[in-house]
A and B are shown apart, each in its own frame.
Chain A
Amino acid sequence: MTSQYDIAVIGGGNAALCAAMTAAEKGAKVIILETAPKAYRGGNSRHTRNFRCMHSGPLGPLIEDYSEDEYFEDLLKVTGGKTDEKLARLAIRTSEECLPWMEEHGVRFQPSLSGTLSLARTNAFFMGGGKSLVNAYYRTADKLGVKVLYEANVTHLELDGDRITRVDYTHEGKSGQLTPKAVIVASGGFQADTDWLTRAWGPPAKNFLIRGTPYNRGVVLADLLDQGVNSVGDPTQCHAVAIDGRAPKFDGGIVTRLDCVPFSIVVNKDAERFYDEGEDVWPKRYAIWGRLVANQPDQVGYVIIDAKSLDLFMPSVFPPIKADTLEELAEKMELPADRLRETVETFNAACGDTSNFHPTELDGVKTTGINLPKTNWARPIDTPPFYGYSLRTGVTFTYLGFKVDENAQCSTDTGPIRNLWAAGETMAGSILGQGYLAGFGMTIGTVFGRIAGREAANYAN
């Protein structure tokens, strides 16, 4: 099967599928090499839930308007300016035409989910979530004649001058080679390779949980960077949030999020508070807490709330640890009981008038007279039963990736690689230098997947 395919797409998530479908529609013979088995196909896309989309006037499930400038402003806020404006605006502008394209290719949308009303204007939610999107795209790709090989591990792309000449892979215990005319890499970051993550971040990374797929090990990324393909993004950094400490090592996905921090005090394993829990609303702070927890001993935090706050946040996937006294809670959570009582009493004594408490906005209900204040939602932890959660750092994605141009084309220091394109998380660092904007990963994947598919097909034809 050496020259049977015009285009090899490496990866099997949203970007890969968008690229494969686009190329197949232009008449190219396409093969997808997906490293996961069928049940786990789709990379991190299977955990996604929406698509951030520019629009003027109502579009599909989206209400009102979301202009290019407002979208770009939102991006600047989260990236602190670390973004390539040209590529970012390209992604934003193209997102509007993507939504109907997605529907034509089988994706179905639903109204904004309960608990996410703030996104009803900006983010189009997939009916059933990302896995149903992935399922629909595989169905459509199949109809277009795209061949899919599951459990196909691409081990090496041979870069000869300005061309990729060969794709090496293993499948069902056997080595295989392809010599397609063009290659599209859409195989994500490297966050599932714990050793690499530990080399990049340092020893604490061993205790990080990976929120998404265990198959994003960065094999192709490392292979191509070794051969001098240009990269972008801080190689030491990953996007991480604070999640339920009982989450599985991999693939815990959306349900492992915990929204209760603003109504809590958070302590480390010595039962000491370490940061202002009430600094801002949770969606603006969960990423900070990923790093804060990573800097604590054993990379773990403990959220303590009382009965007053139990119904104020989205339900957790695992029930909280519950106890009638702080001592009992400390024992169940393996915290020093005396210390925890002292911390809670100090905090409680610093709480003042709570009559203006308002769970969904910055209410200014703050502590006074302690070195580490809580600046909003500061109510004493005094109403049993008490509840606790452990917090760990959950990695969403890594920033290191391929540097691409507006045609999604990869390059070396000597110029463009004529037949290599990249799409999705593996090149998202070109646009997202730091931070993250909900639903923007799917925008990047869809926009650049389609561009890569188009360019590769034009080249192959």
Chain B
Amino acid sequence: MQTDLLQEARRQAEICNACRYCEGYCSVFPALHQERFFSDANLTQLANLCHNCRGCYYACQYTAPHEFDLNLPKALAEVRQDSWESFAWPAPLARSFQKSGVMIAIATILGFAVLFLAFRALGSAGGEGFYAVLSHSAMVAIFLPAFLFPLASIAVSLRRYWKETGGTSVTLEQIVGAFGSAAKMKNLAGGHGDGCNFEDEDRFSQSRRLAHQAVMYGFLLCFASTSAGTILHYVFDMPAPYSFWSLPKLLGVPGGILMVLGTVELARLKLKADRSLGAPSAWGGEMGFILLLFLVALSGLALYALGSTAAMPALLAIHLGSVLSFFLLTPYTKMAHGFYRLAALVRDEQRKAAG
């Protein structure tokens, strides 16, 4: 990891530790105040605990033009970004995609191309509905590895993270605590429940918290929809297409709508927010990732609406192409933050349990 970024975070953390005014905002400060000296591992853990709510920045009496020049959200964002790049496997992929929206766009277009080529080369083998364009077995052949490889990659990264931050064996209680925190996005609530300071300087608002949860729960609903489809297919021998009153649709349609609304709002907030309070170099990659998620959700909804029209094959290629690149890029884009964040929250539960 980059020593200059760690050194700057260390300098700032030492000032914060002598002040402590922000103790109630989030999980970062109680963890920070427990240390006296900050190792690289401490700083990596603090950086991944930080949700970039920015409450501490606007409350801080030492931000520029003060000579202490504190900007903890930025310092931690840069360490966090750097940690994801160095824990990723293979690391060069993270360096390409974390910071570059253009690279994400190129990967997405490549995803479309792969699907169009597959339609042409592999074809339907006599299936119906979507399978008339690409057979079910061809879809599985493409998506099963595209799903498993990122999971394996993430597993390697999380192992590295756990080793670096000194994590011990995990208990159910710690997992429940961490997931509870993520489920309510407690760390974007500001400690007082008024939300965070993101899009309008020091005004507290729930916008980012709500938008994030719309995307998160929308994504989980879509994921559940796909899983339900898989079970119906293999266990109950009920292949797609499914009617609206089926489990895949009842989960997937609201999920897609939540994701579309959430990503649009996240992008809007991101355009309004001050870029210098995050990792400025990663802005493009973050925005590219939001747009990719938007495309996944919107194309999925469009496919549902227009699945019986002539536009279906093209929409299917766009949807499956964007899903393919989304899956493959998961370890190397902002998507990885969900895994690291959960790991950091579990690690913080361990810290709290240890007193």
Complex interface bits, A336-366 against B, C-beta within 8 A gives 1, otherwise 0 = 0000000000000000000000000000000
The dominant DSSP class at the B interface is loop
CA distance A255 to B20 in the complex (A): 9
CA distance A167 to B25 in the complex (A): 41
A255→B19 contact, CB < 8 A: yes
B21→A254 contact, CB < 8 A: yes
A108→B23 contact, CB < 8 A: no
B202→A113 contact, CB < 8 A: no
Asked if B145 is an interface residue, CB under 8 A from chain A, the answer is no
Q: Which chain B residues lie closer than 8 Å to A127 at the CB level?
A: 24-25, 59, 190-192
Complex interface bits, B19-35 against A, C-beta within 8 A gives 1, otherwise 0 = 11111110000100100
Total residues of chain B contacting the partner, CB 8 A: 32
Asked if A111 is an interface residue, CB under 8 A from chain B, the answer is yes
Q: Which of A76-84, A129-137, A169-177, A301-309 sits within the interface?
A: A129-137
A139 and B202 in contact, given A127-B191, A251-B66 (Cβ under 8 angstroms): yes
**How many whole Å from A246's CB to the nearest CB in chain B?**
12
Asked if A161 is an interface residue, CB under 8 A from chain B, the answer is no
- The number of residue pairs between A and B whose CB atoms lie closer than 8 Å in the complex comes to 89
Q: Which chain A residues lie closer than 8 Å to B23 at the CB level?
A: 110-111, 113-114
Asked if A314 is an interface residue, CB under 8 A from chain B, the answer is yes
Task: Name the contact of A319 in the complex, choosing from B14, B30, B59, B62 (C-beta under 8 A).
Answer: B14
Nearest-neighbor residue (CB-CB) of B17 within chain A = A315
B36→A311 contact, CB < 8 A: yes
Asked if A316 is an interface residue, CB under 8 A from chain B, the answer is yes
CA distance A315 to B16 in the complex (A): 10
CA distance A50 to B66 in the complex (A): 22
B61→A131 contact, CB < 8 A: yes
Within 8 A of B (CB), among A283-342: 311, 314-319
Asked if A46 is an interface residue, CB under 8 A from chain B, the answer is yes
**How many whole Å from B210's CB to the nearest CB in chain A?**
20
Within 8 A of A (CB), among B16-66: 17-25, 30, 33, 36, 55-56, 58-66
B67→A129 contact, CB < 8 A: no
Q: Which chain B residues lie closer than 8 Å to A255 at the CB level?
A: 15, 18-19, 62
A132→B59 contact, CB < 8 A: yes
**How many whole Å from B256's CB to the nearest CB in chain A?**
37
**How many whole Å from B51's CB to the nearest CB in chain A?**
16
Asked if A47 is an interface residue, CB under 8 A from chain B, the answer is yes
A114→B33 contact, CB < 8 A: yes
Q: Which chain A residues lie closer than 8 Å to B56 at the CB level?
A: 128
Task: Name the contact of B18 in the complex, choosing from A126, A131, A316 (C-beta under 8 A).
Answer: A316
Q: Which chain B residues lie closer than 8 Å to A47 at the CB level?
A: 61
Nearest-neighbor residue (CB-CB) of B13 within chain A = A315
CA distance A46 to B190 in the complex (A): 19
Nearest-neighbor residue (CB-CB) of B64 within chain A = A39
**How many whole Å from B266's CB to the nearest CB in chain A?**
24
B25→A128 contact, CB < 8 A: yes
Nearest-neighbor residue (CB-CB) of B60 within chain A = A131
**How many whole Å from A233's CB to the nearest CB in chain B?**
26
CA distance A110 to B192 in the complex (A): 8
**How many whole Å from A247's CB to the nearest CB in chain B?**
10
CA distance A128 to B192 in the complex (A): 11
A129→B21 contact, CB < 8 A: yes
Asked if B194 is an interface residue, CB under 8 A from chain A, the answer is yes
B66→A314 contact, CB < 8 A: no
CA distance A319 to B59 in the complex (A): 24
A315→B36 contact, CB < 8 A: yes
Q: Which chain B residues lie closer than 8 Å to A139 at the CB level?
A: 202-203
**How many whole Å from B66's CB to the nearest CB in chain A?**
6
CA distance A39 to B201 in the complex (A): 12
**How many whole Å from A61's CB to the nearest CB in chain B?**
9
Complex interface bits, A419-452 against B, C-beta within 8 A gives 1, otherwise 0 = 0000000000000000000000000000000000
B19→A110 contact, CB < 8 A: no
Asked if A253 is an interface residue, CB under 8 A from chain B, the answer is yes
A128 and B21 in contact, given A251-B66, A253-B62, A311-B36 (Cβ under 8 angstroms): yes
B66→A132 contact, CB < 8 A: no
Q: Which chain A residues lie closer than 8 Å to B63 at the CB level?
A: 39
Nearest-neighbor residue (CB-CB) of B201 within chain A = A135
Q: Which chain B residues lie closer than 8 Å to A203 at the CB level?
A: none
**How many whole Å from B349's CB to the nearest CB in chain A?**
19
Task: Name the contact of B14 in the complex, choosing from A39, A46, A126, A317 (C-beta under 8 A).
Answer: A317
CA distance A113 to B66 in the complex (A): 24
A131 and B59 in contact, given A114-B23, A139-B203, A254-B21 (Cβ under 8 angstroms): yes
Q: Which chain B residues lie closer than 8 Å to A254 at the CB level?
A: 18-19, 21
B21→A113 contact, CB < 8 A: yes
Complex interface bits, B51-88 against A, C-beta within 8 A gives 1, otherwise 0 = 00001101111111111000000000000000000000
A128 and B14 in contact, given A47-B61, A135-B202, A253-B61 (Cβ under 8 angstroms): no
A128→B59 contact, CB < 8 A: yes
Asked if A115 is an interface residue, CB under 8 A from chain B, the answer is yes
Q: Which chain A residues lie closer than 8 Å to B203 at the CB level?
A: 139
Nearest-neighbor residue (CB-CB) of B67 within chain A = A248
Q: Which chain A residues lie closer than 8 Å to B194 at the CB level?
A: 108
CA distance A127 to B15 in the complex (A): 18
A108 and B192 in contact, given A114-B33, A127-B25, A255-B18 (Cβ under 8 angstroms): yes
| B residues lining the A interface (CB < 8 Å) | 14-15, 17-25, 30, 33, 36, 55-56, 58-67, 190-192, 194, 202-203
Name 13 A/B residue pairs within 8 A (Cβ), A-sorted: A46-B61, A108-B190, A128-B21, A128-B25, A128-B58, A132-B55, A135-B59, A135-B202, A139-B202, A248-B67, A254-B18, A314-B18, A317-B14
Q: Closest 3 A-B residue pairs measured CB to CB?
A: A128-B59, A110-B24, A129-B21
